[in-house]
């Protein structure tokens, strides 16, 4: 049996003239988390739909849990969970009823389905809201219920399409913790995200997609290094200090510093950790130079795209029109 939980080879999906996927290949080893990272319209949802048997590829093949998604759709579905980008829970049932119903659909039997529902409500901080109709939930609560629903049958491969979009920072952190637990239990996860930070936090391996193509691959560290790592920056209080601060930043990072006179910003790439900030702060204090701001900025998806494609992340407006 394949050691890969997911294997996609040359996937192509066309909508009219447009190729939503234009030859996408990647594989996800069992028990790992893969982050499919890309801007609006990149093809993330299309890839997830093909891998979860909801859409058919025009070209290429894919296996999930060792099974061909086109030939063995039903068996694939029995082994996976999908939290789609749009909530799919029944609005006219309570959160608890939704989860129990799904358990019964999976033939768990009423008693076990109920126990599993209560366990998941607890895990997702929804115990108090469990008795309320899902339509009264906030966006973040609905998102959590959606995720709980995908876990009822303990799937071996989990697909999460932008799982944290719309969640507040606390809910996002809670969700990340839940995903850690699942991975610890051996679940393989493919998640899509527009945030490098999220892919960085969760994924062992990141596949960057743009216009239906894989444009980069690697762990977060490798991707960040490709874009020149993090940026050490400082904003001296007086413009007269710009050159001296630039000298310090250059010495500490070993990289040519950039100076933006208009915003009084000095910056340079660094692969050093937060200690470079401490070194700069010490040097500034020794020289009695006052700063308004100092820090380390991690690269964003924007930086990755700027480096890899030479263009910033562009919103694909046809996405909204097409839906
Ligand atoms: N059913 C469809 N009919 C026509 N075009 C589609 C359809 N589904 C997707 N597309 C097009 O395929 C491309 C990829 O869409 P997809 O939804 O996979 O992107 P995405 O990466 O998930 O974007 P987002 O971050 O906005 O969710 C887009 O240009 C979109 O307009
Ligand atoms: Mg999408």
pLDDT at 323: 31
Give the C-alpha separation, 266 to 80, whole Å.
Answer: 49
149-162 pLDDT tens trace: 999 999 999 999 99
Query: Which residues on adjacent β-strands are paired with residue 33?
Result: 189
Q: Which ligand is nearest to the CA of 84?
A: 2
Within-domain flag for 303: no
Nearest to 56 by CA among 66, 41, 65, 46: 46
pLDDT beyond 50 at 48: yes
Tell me which residue range forms the domain holding 283: 230-298
Nearest atom within ligand 1 for CA of residue 209: 21
**Ligand 1 site-directed mutation target among 16, 46, 199, most atoms within 8 Å of CB:** 46
The H-or-E segment that residue 61 falls in is strand 59-64
Whose C-alpha lies nearest to ligand 1, atom 24? 40
Same domain, 8 and 126: yes
Q: Which ligand is nearest to the CA of 22?
A: 1
| Domain contains 311 | no
Q: Are residues 219 and 253 in the same domain?
A: no
Closest among 41, 26, 85, 81 to 210, alpha carbons compared: 41
Closest C-alpha to 200, from 272, 299, 277: 299
Mutation pick for ligand 1 pocket among 57, 86, 322 (CB with most ligand atoms within 8 Å): 322
Q: Where are the alpha helices (DSSP H) in 214-299?
A: 220-226, 242-253, 275-286
Residues forming a β-bridge with 12: 22, 59
pLDDT band at 313 (very low <50, low <70, confident <90, very high): low
Q: Who lines ligand 1 at CB under 6 A?
A: 15, 18, 20, 38, 40-46, 85, 194, 316, 318-319, 322
Please tell me the distance from the alpha carbon of residue 250 to that of residue 279, in angstroms, as a whole number.
Answer: 12
Residue 155 makes CB contacts below 8 A (sequence gap 6+) with 79, 80, 81, 187
- Looking up residue 102, the CATH number of its domain turns out to be 3.40.50.300
Q: How do 59-64 and 67-68 pair as beta strands?
A: antiparallel
Q: pLDDT tier at 220 (50, 70, 90 boundaries)? A: confident
- 319 CA from centroid of ligand 1 (Å): 5
Residues 28 and 140 in one domain: yes
Domains: count for the chain: 2
Q: Kindly state whether residues 206 and 238 are assigned to the same domain.
A: no
State whether 283 and 211 are in the same domain.
no
How much distance in Å is there from the Cα of 251 to the middle of ligand 2? 43
Q: Residue 229 phi/psi, 5° resolution?
A: 70, -160
Confidence of residue 311 (pLDDT cuts 50, 70, 90): low
What does the pLDDT average to over 18-23?
A: 96
Domain assignment of residue 106, yes or no:
yes
pLDDT, mean over the chain: 90
95, 140: one domain: yes
Task: Assess if residue 305 is contained within a domain.
Answer: no
Whether residues 185 and 64 fall in one domain: yes
Q: What are the percentages of helix, strand and coil residues in the chain, rounded to 5?
A: 40, 30, 35
| Statement: residue 246 has pLDDT above 90 | yes
Q: What is the token pair recorded at 179? A: 């995903």
- pLDDT score, position 67: 97
Tokens 């407006």 map to which residue? 317
Q: Residue 67 Cα, ligand 2 centroid: separation in angstroms? A: 24
291 and 181 in one domain?
no
Domain contains 168: yes
Q: What's 239's DSSP letter?
A: G
Kindly report the protein residue whose alpha carbon is nearest to atom 26 of ligand 1: 40
Ligand of minimum distance to the alpha carbon of 17:
1
Structural domain contains residue 308: no
Do 63 and 181 belong to one domain? Answer: yes
Kindly tell me if the per-residue pLDDT of 315 is higher than 70: no
In a domain, 18, yes or no: yes
258 pLDDT band, cuts 50/70/90, is very high
Residue 318 lies in a domain: no
The pLDDT value given to residue 19: 95
Structure tokens given for 176: 């990340």
Domain shared by 132 and 51, yes or no: yes
Distance, in Å, from the CA atom of 259 to the CA atom of 267, rounded to the nearest integer, reads 7
pLDDT at 268 over 90: yes
* Residue range 243-272: mean pLDDT, rounded: 93
Ligand 1 binding pocket mutation candidate from 21, 43, 209 (most atoms within 8 A of CB)? 43
CATH classification of the domain holding 289: 3.30.70.100
- Is this prediction's pTM over 0.75? yes
> CB–CB of 23/46 below 8 Å?
no
Asked whether residue 97 falls in the same domain as residue 242, the answer is: no
pLDDT in tens, 95-132: 999 999 999 998 999 999 999 999 999 988 899 999 99
Whose Cα sits closest to atom 28 in ligand 1? 41
């Amino acid at each position: 049996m394949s050691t890969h939980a997911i294997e996609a080879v040359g996937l192509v999906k066309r909508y009219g003239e447009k190729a939503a996927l234009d030859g996408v290949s990647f594989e996800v080893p069992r028990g790992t988390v893969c982050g499919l990272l890309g801007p609006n319209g990149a093809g993330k949802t299309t890839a997830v739909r093909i891998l979860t048997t909801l859409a058919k590829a025009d070209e290429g093949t894919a296996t999930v849990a060792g099974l061909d998604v086109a030939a063995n759709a039903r068996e694939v579905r029995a082994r996976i969970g999908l939290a789609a980008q749009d909530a799919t829970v029944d609005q006219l049932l309570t959160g608890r009823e939704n989860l129990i119903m799904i358990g019964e659909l999976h033939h768990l039997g009423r008693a076990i389905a109920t126990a599993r529902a209560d366990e998941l409500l607890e895990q997702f901080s929804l115990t108090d809201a469990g008795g309320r109709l899902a339509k009264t939930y906030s966006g973040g609560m609905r998102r959590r219920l959606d995720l709980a629903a995908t876990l009822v049958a303990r799937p071996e491969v989990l697909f999460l399409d932008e799982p944290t979009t719309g969640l507040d920072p606390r809910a996002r952190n809670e969700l990340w913790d839940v995903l850690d637990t699942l991975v610890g239990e051996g679940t393989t996860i493919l998640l899509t995200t527009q945030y490098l930070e999220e892919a960085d936090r969760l994924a062992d391996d990141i596949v960057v997609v743009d216009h239906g193509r894989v444009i980069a691959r690697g762990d977060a560290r490798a991707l960040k290094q490709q874009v020149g790592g993090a940026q050490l920056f400082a904003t001296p209080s007086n413009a007269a200090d710009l050159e001296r601060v630039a000298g310090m930043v250059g010495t500490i990072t070993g990289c040519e510093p950039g100076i933006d006179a208009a915003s009084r910003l000095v910056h340079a790439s660094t692969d050093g950790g937060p200690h470079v900030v401490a070194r700069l702060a010490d040097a500034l204090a020794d020289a009695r130079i006052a700063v308004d701001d100092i820090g380390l900025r991690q690269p964003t998806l924007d930086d990755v795209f700027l480096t890899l494609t030479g263009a910033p992340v562009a919103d694909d407006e046809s996405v909204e029109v097409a839906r």
